Amino acid sequence: MAAVHPQTLRMYERLGLVVPSRSRGNTRLYSTRDVERIQAIVRLTREEGVNLAGVVRIFELEDRVRELERQVIAWMQQWQQRIQRELAKRAGAHRRSTGDLKAPVKIPISRGRGRV
């Protein structure tokens, strides 16, 4: 990881870009996710030329995309359940309506000459 000055890390924290946990002695404890976000910030600012306001906006949009993905998945699961219920309902109705077709059919047999 590229070296990041402690003051820069504090600025990232003030902007809400990283939120490290704290030890009992109030020392910042950076998680793996925090380190990954710091690496992303460094890449965006140093390599891509994005300013910190842009980084904040990018992260906000990424969070929004993840939320929308969760909503779409939930919506799709609800529709899948509705469709499965409807299919089961229609299959049951179909079985009931075709059940009569499976019953033996009585065909009158003519004992006389060619007439039924």
* Residue 84 token pair: 């499965």
Distance of CA 48 to the CA centre of its chain: 29
pLDDT at 95: 83
pLDDT at 28: 94
Closest of 83, 88, 33 to residue 62, by C-alpha: 33
Q: Where are the beta strands (DSSP E) in the chain?
A: 21-22, 28-29
Residue 21 dihedral angles phi and psi, to the nearest 5°: -75, 175
pLDDT at 100: 61
pLDDT at 57: 98
pLDDT at 105: 67
For the chain, what are the domain ranges? 6-101
Cβ–Cβ under 8 Å, residues 1 and 35: yes
For the chain, 116 residues long, give each residue's pLDDT as a single digit of tens: 568 999 999 999 999 999 999 999 999 999 999 999 999 999 999 999 999 999 999 999 999 999 999 999 999 999 999 999 999 999 988 888 877 666 676 778 777 665 55
Tell which CATH architecture fits domain 6-101.
Orthogonal Bundle (1.10)
